[in-house]
Each structure stands twice: as structure tokens, then as C-alpha cells.
Structure 1
């Protein structure tokens, strides 16, 4: 009887742990960054559901368990919405100026999605390699840039508010490991100025939409040392303001299978929540479009990592541009989740089922 009792207690314990994880999973937002979408649509691309019917891609994403849409905004992108990187790679930016943001935000709102707005504070993509000052701001001093960040952020937030849109989250900067508005906001050379710029954006967001959670977003979510260094400086040393710590996680760009570093991501999510008392999320994740099973397993593992953060502090995970396809993009980006089913017809792979299955728990 004692053995049976112990077995029963063990099973009960496993059940409670699993139930706890499922409670966390049900509270997570499952998101998609679709910044390329309107530009791809303008080029004639369409998306089919599992039955082969052409439908609004946002509806298809909803069918796959997506609950939130992430939209980026550039200050003054080229009128062609194309950009050539330093290595000669040509890419499209998406219609991500103010007008394009408002159009997509309204569209997402009308579909019932939560919304994340991602300020790049540049005329093109910002990431650890590129944090270029917008052309209109290039002659500004640091103090002027602090004002520009506030005024621009306030303007965009106010434009959204006038359309009844109050984003659930707002990123002040995108993958800002190296800082923003370089060289003035360099994390390596002048963290105090970086904190000042980020706090200016934070204050502008809250002035328009106090309920919006401000996200501070770094790349390489598997690298705990980088995150501790950055947030020890930002939060502890220089009194930075943020509500959520966000991270990107791309095993493909790391050059390793997710099995080799998913525990590092999970540990980092836990550590950021525990060390700083902040909510945490994966703002960007992606796997190779042709490796459907591998991407599905990657997403399941990343969802589990977010959902396992104690006290429900793991709040969301966003796939970056799942609607994309390497044949549709000039840079051949291969981390979408679609296949080409015909001339400019795309269909999502079963990799996205990881979101739906987690959402349905």
C-alpha cells in the first residue's frame, strides 16, 4: 500500500507540474511579425489555407493559433522600400513607414489581434550590425536626438491612438546589443547616453498609452552573459526604464541546431525574470522553411522555454515573417514557413502547427 501511495503522489506531482506549464502556455501570446506582408501583396503574392483556398493571410495565421501581430516602423525609408546592405545584399523593407504602419495596425486590430509596434529609429533595418541614424537626424547633437526620439515616438503613438489603437507592447529599438543611433547611443562607448535615448522613447510611449508595455530587445537570446552585461548597465547602473526584456532566438544564424542551445535560451529567460523582476518574451524566432519538422520542433521547444518561466513572467513568442518565402524575396531569406504552390501562391507549412497546438492546450 505504501508503494502504491508513493506512486500516486509521484503521478499527482507530475500532473500538477504539467498543469502549471499548461496554465502558463494558455497565457502566452503567439505572434507573427508580418512587416513584409503589404509589400508582398502589392507584388501580387497571395496565401492559401490548408484546403487550398486563397484567403486573407491574417485569417490563416489566426487559424494557426496566432494571437498577436508585430509591426515595425522606420523613420523615413526609401520610397522604393528597398535597401542594399553594406555587403551588397538587396532586400525589401516592407511598407513600414508611418502610413504603412497605420494601415497594417488598423487591419490587425479589426481582426482582433493584439499588436506590437517595433521602433527601429532608422530609415532601414536596425540590428546589432546596423543602427544607423535616420537621414533627417544625421546632423543632430546627442541632446537633439533625445528630443527627436521623444517627439517621433510620441507622434507615431498619437497617430495610432487617434485610430483607436493602443499597442499591447512597444519596442523602443530593435536588437539593440550595440545600442541605437550610433555612435551617440553606443552600448560599448557611452551607455549613459544610450539609457537616455531609450528612456526618452519609454516616456513618449507612456505619455500616449500608459497601458502599453515597453520592450527592450536584444539579439542572441541564448547568450546570458550578453544579457546580464547589458541589463546590469541599463537597469542597475544607469536607471533604465523598461517593462519587458525581449530576445531574438535564431539557431540558424548561430550555426547550430536548437538542441544545442535551447537550454541556454530557457535559462536566460528564467534568469532575466528572476534577476530583474521583469516579464520576458521571445520577440523573434525562426527556422529554415524547407525543414518543416525541425522548425516545428524548434518552435515547440521555444514555446516550452517561455511557458516555463515562473510566475507567468514568460508572456509571448513571435515568429519573424512566417508569410515570407525565399523565392519571393530578393535576398532569398529562408526562415519563413511557406512553400510556393504556384505562380505567386504561397501556403504555410505544418511548422506553424506548434503555435496552434500550444494555443489549444
Structure 2
């Protein structure tokens, strides 16, 4: 997810359809969640927000550590993005390790989101790190391997083995452009994914490797990427998705997302994770309904293949960096949307 493209994503998704029935009522059976179901949040901004003086409050108005507030809302897993050489310290390897140590100390499971860039990577931007910009393809694969091993070892030194590791972020058209642009050279993209996969497993064989795309409702996109990866010998453990609906279209997008999730399980036999969700903070009631429904839908996948749902930066409030899809209100307290994660 990148803030610059949130509005575009919402507009395009809203064209897909809307429903007239009660937007607040989830429409999926209330089955118990799997014991290991991940109810997650990407809180990569937390250290930067705290450094800027922002504070967080529980619903009673008491100031608390953000992670404690989230834990009390049922969150059991934390996702952290990593940039190779960012312009500031935020999302650097050191910042990621510090947040991971903090999260592990509070009992959270950890997802590592490797962007393979110095800044935001998403469907519209997959820029190489500046230090890799002039490398040939063989050297680029080596850089992917070395960087991945390096950050995994930095976490290992801190006694952290991430449960999940994303090889790229929202790689709808591959990563590390132009070499790894999937629509131009799927083989190159697959080799980069495989380099990352092998690097993760060399440090911690139990970490599950995720390949993550946006628009979880778009089955054509998912078949294009994952058919291409499979045909070119790339491995992955988990199919990752993003989903950013509105109050008007969440029902139709969730239905399409469920169909896509089921197809991914049938077609590739892989587990499925909803790595990012969000909805405008001002639509908290609809957001709670959406989240409740997509959690239940992911949990329903055959063979326990639905692993969990992660909210992207719910703690963002007061128009932090222009982001409006958080799940905290203007006073720094969680909205009703976060109550969806209290599902059991």
C-alpha cells in the first residue's frame, strides 16, 4: 500500500459494484476461527509516529503503548515493512529489528514485508534500491539473496524468526523494475522470487514465504502472476492479497475475493493470507462489518488454508502522512472497526 495510490484504488474498486442491503450486517456464517488464525496489523509507522510526539489511547481514554491497545483488541500478529537503504532511519533494518523485538516481547507473531526498494513498492512503483540500480541481472539476484539473508540474520541475532516473510510488496507486475517486470520478463521475476525464497529458507526453514499482490478480487491478475511463477520454477508458500473496499462495495468485493481465494487454493494448493485491508476511518461501522466478513471468509477456506487478515496501519490518525484508511479516530483511540478482531 502506498498513500499516493489509495484514492485511485478506492475509485477503481468502487466501479466494480455495490449492494443495497444493510452494509453493517456480515453475510457469512459465524464459524469459530482456527486456533492459529492470524489477526494482524501492519504498524510500521509506529516508531516514526511516536518520534513525532503522537500518542495512543484505549477506548477509555487512557494513554497506552499502541501494541497493548491492539493486543486488547484481539490482534496477535504484527507486520513490518523493510526498505533497503531508506532516506531516514524509518523502515531500515535497524528500525525493523527494534520493532520486531518489541512486538515479540509482547507475544506477537511477526510478518516481515520486504519491499526490495529504498521506498514504497506497490503496483505503480517497484524501483530498485539506488545501490543496485546499475547491476546486471546476475548481480541483482545476488543482491536479493544477500540482502534477504542479511535482514533475516539481523532478526535471528535478536532471537526472532519471522513466521512469514513477503518477497516483494504488491508485486502485481513483478518487482525490481525493469529487470523483474513480470509483463516484460516473467522468467526474471520468477528468478528473483526464487532467490528471495531460497535466502529466507537458508536462515529459517520454518518461515513461510509469501508472494503478495493487491486487488484480491481480481482473479485474472492472480492467475497471471502465479501461473507465471509456477511455470518458471519459482516457489512460494502463501498467496498474499490486499483488499481496500468502501462502505458501498465491500460485499461485492468480498464475494469476489472469496472466489479468488478458493481458486488459489484449488489451483496451486497454497495457503492464503489477506496481508492488507483498510477502509476509510470515517466509515467505522461498515469497516467492522467488512472486516468481520472477510475474516470469516478467509477462515472458511478448505483444509485450513486461510491463514489470517492484517489491517494496514490502523494506528494512523489525524491525517498522518495523508493516510485516511486507518482505524483510529482523531483523538488517537481505536474505532469500532477494530472490534472485528475480537472474533474468536
1:347 is paired with a residue whose SS is: coil
Pick from 240, 245, 252 the counterpart of residue 251 of structure 1: 245
Distance 2:236 2:108 in 1: 23
Q: What number of residue pairs does the alignment pair up? A: 317
**CA displacement 1:50-105 (0-9 Å, x = unmatched):** 211101010000000000000000001112x6xxxxxxxxxxxxx10011001000
| Residue 96 (structure 2) pairs with residue 101 (structure 1) | yes
Aligned to 2:261: 269
Runs of 4+ in structure 1 deviating by more than 3 angstroms, as ranges, are: none
Question: Match for residue 349 of structure 1?
Answer: 335
- Contact 2:33–2:296 (CA under 8 A) maintained in structure 1: no
**1:87-134 Cα deviation digits (max 9, x unpaired):** xxxxxxxx1001100100000010000000000000001001010011
Structure 1 residues 36 and 103 mapped into 2: Cα distance closer, same or farther (>3 Å)?
same
Q: Is the 8 A contact 2:163 2:206 kept in 1?
A: yes
Given the alignment of the two structures, is residue 306 of structure 1 paired with residue 298 of structure 2, yes or no? yes
Say whether 1:335 aligns with 2:335.
Answer: no
Shift in Å, 1:260: 2.2
1:57 equivalent in structure 2? 66
Matched residue of 2:329: which SS? strand
3-state DSSP of counterpart to 2:160: coil
Higher Rg of the two aligned structures: 1
Which secondary structure does the structure 2 equivalent of 1:48 belong to? coil
1:27 Cα deviation after fit: 3.1
**Residue 38 of structure 2: aligned partner:** 29
Distance, in Å, in 1 between the alignment partners of 2:248 and 2:242 is 15
Partner of 2:13: none
SS at match of 2:281: coil
The separation in 2 between residues aligned to 1:336 and 1:64, in whole angstroms, is 15
2:205 corresponds to:
210
Structure 1 residue 207: deviation in Å?
0.3
Deviation at 1:23, TM superposition (A): 4.7
Q: Which runs of structure 2 are paired with 1:1-361 in the superposition (5 Å)? A: 21-24=31-34, 26-79=35-88, 95-235=90-230, 237-252=231-246, 257-325=249-317, 327-330=318-321, 332-341=322-331, 346-356=332-342, 358=343, 361=344
Larger relative strand fraction: 1
CA–CA separation in structure 2 for the residues paired with 1:300 and 1:316? 12
Distance in 2 (alpha carbons) for counterparts of 1:172 and 1:310: 25
TM-score by length of 1: 0.86
TM-score (normalised: structure 2): 0.90
Q: Is the 8 A contact 2:197 2:209 kept in 1?
A: yes
Partner SS, residue 31 of structure 1? strand
For structure 1, the 5+ residue unaligned runs are 1-16, 82-94
> How big is the shift at 1:18?
6.0
Q: 2:7 maps to what in 1? A: none
Shift of 1:256: 5.5
Instruction: Give the root-mean-square deviation of aligned CA atoms.
Output: 1.4
